[in-house]
Amino acid sequence: MRLTEVSYTDAEPVDGYGPGFFRIGGVVWQGATLTGPRGTSTWGGYADADPLLALADQIDVLFIGTGAEVAHIPAALRASLEEAGTGVEIMTSPSACRTYNVLLSEGRRIALAVLPV
């Protein structure tokens, strides 16, 4: 079997997650987290739209993980992201992490905003 090392460009992959935390690029982040082409930081949740909107010119799609269950995000948040030209995909946080890693390995222009499980 031939193994090929995956290149994640400047963004960092999600290494793992658990109750209340995400491990991204080998660093543990507590609570809601944002990661993408600008690196990784804590995120203030749905009310904290500014860092998401700041990524509009750098990404095509933002994956939003809503925790353990799929939930709607506020309509105003979705509208502002789409108005800025950012595609929005909503899913559970575990699914969002896995999808982010796969598309990141393909060199896609993406970011991930996740709420803890």
Q: Whole-angstrom Cα distance, residue 117 to residue 115?
A: 7
Mean pLDDT, the chain, whole residue set:
93
pLDDT digits (tens, 9 = 90+) for 50-95: 999 999 999 999 999 999 999 999 999 999 999 999 999 999 999 9
Q: Whole-angstrom Cα distance, residue 112 to residue 108?
A: 12
> How many other C-beta atoms are found inside a 10 Å radius of the C-beta of residue 78?
16
Instruction: Please state which of the four CATH numbers 3.40.1230.10, 3.50.50.60, 3.90.650.10, 1.10.287.1080 is assigned to the domain occupying 14-114.
Output: 3.40.1230.10
pTM assigned to the model: 0.91
Residue 2 — pLDDT band, cuts 50, 70, 90?
A: low
